[in-house]
Amino acid sequence: MDRYNVSLVSLGCPKNLVDAEVMLGHLPAERFSIITDESAADIIVVNTCAFIRDAQEESVETILEVADYKKNGRCKLLIVSGCMPQRYQKELQKELPEVDFFMGTADAPRIVELLDRHLEGRPQQEIGLPDYLYDHTTPRVTSSPYYTAYVKIAEGCANHCSYCVIPGIRGTLRSRTIESVVAETKRLVDSGVKEINLIAQDVTAFGAERDSGPELPALLRELVRIDGLVWLRLLYAYPDGITDGLLDLIAAEEKICNYLDLPIQHIDDQILAAMNRRVDESDIRSLLKRIRSRIPDITLRTSLIVGFPGETDAQFRKLLGFVEEGHFERLGAFRYSREDGTPAAQLDNQVPERTKQARVKRLMKAQSRVSLKKNLALKGRIEPTLVEGYSEETELLLRGRSVRQAPDVDGQVYITSGQAEIGDIVNLKITDSSEYDLIGEICEN
pLDDT digits (tens, 9 = 90+) for 173-217: 999 999 999 999 999 999 999 999 999 999 999 999 998 888 999
pLDDT at residue 445 in the model:
62
Could you tell me if residue 39 is inside a domain?
Answer: yes
426 shares a domain with 369: no
pLDDT at residue 235 in the model:
94
Torsion, Cα of 355, 359, 360, 366 (10° steps) = 160
CB count in 10 Å sphere of residue 296? 9
Could you tell me if residue 127 is inside a domain?
Answer: no
Last residue of a domain, one of 376, 395, 415: 376
Domain count, the chain: 3
Residue in 200, 198, 222, 20 with CA at minimum distance from that of residue 111: 20
158 shares a domain with 113: no
Give the CATH number, domain containing residue 414: 2.40.50.140
420 shares a domain with 351: no
Could you tell me if residue 105 is inside a domain?
Answer: yes
Q: How far apart are CA 17 and CA 254, in angstroms?
A: 28
Could you tell me if residue 389 is inside a domain?
Answer: yes
Residue in 344, 301, 302, 359 with CA at minimum distance from that of residue 164: 344
Could you tell me if residue 262 is inside a domain?
Answer: yes
357 shares a domain with 209: yes
- Domain coverage including residue 32: 4-119
Give the CATH number, domain containing residue 371: 3.80.30.20
Could you tell me if residue 184 is inside a domain?
Answer: yes
Alpha helices in 215-326 (DSSP H): 216-223, 244-252, 269-274, 281-294, 313-324
Q: Kindly list the distances between the CA atom of residue 84 and the CA atoms of 50, 374, 442, in Å, as whole numbers in the listed order.
A: 5, 38, 45
Residue type, 356: K
203 shares a domain with 334: yes
Q: Can you give the pLDDT of all 445 residues of the chain as single tens digits?
A: 588 899 998 888 889 899 999 999 999 999 999 988 888 899 999 998 887 888 888 888 988 888 888 887 788 899 998 898 888 888 888 888 888 889 988 988 989 998 888 888 777 677 888 889 999 999 999 989 999 999 999 999 999 999 999 998 999 999 999 999 999 999 999 999 999 999 999 999 999 999 888 899 999 999 999 999 999 999 999 999 999 999 999 999 999 999 999 999 999 999 999 999 999 999 999 999 999 999 999 999 999 999 999 999 999 999 999 999 999 999 999 999 999 899 999 999 999 999 999 999 999 999 999 999 999 999 999 999 999 998 877 677 899 999 999 998 999 999 998 889 999 999 999 999 999 999 999 987 6
436 shares a domain with 387: yes
User: Phi/psi of residue 79, each to 5°?
Assistant: -115, 135
Give the CATH number, domain containing residue 53: 3.40.50.12160
341 shares a domain with 436: no
pLDDT at residue 117 in the model:
87
Q: How far apart are CA 341 and CA 356, in angstroms?
A: 21
165 shares a domain with 88: no
Last residue of a domain, one of 337, 361, 376: 376
182 shares a domain with 93: no
Last residue of a domain, one of 376, 396, 419: 376
Could you tell me if residue 134 is inside a domain?
Answer: no
pLDDT at residue 1 in the model:
54
393 shares a domain with 317: no
399 shares a domain with 336: no
Could you tell me if residue 128 is inside a domain?
Answer: no
pTM comes to: 0.93
300 shares a domain with 153: yes
CA angle in degrees (0–180, nearest 5) for 193-262-253? 50
The three-state secondary structure class of 331 is strand
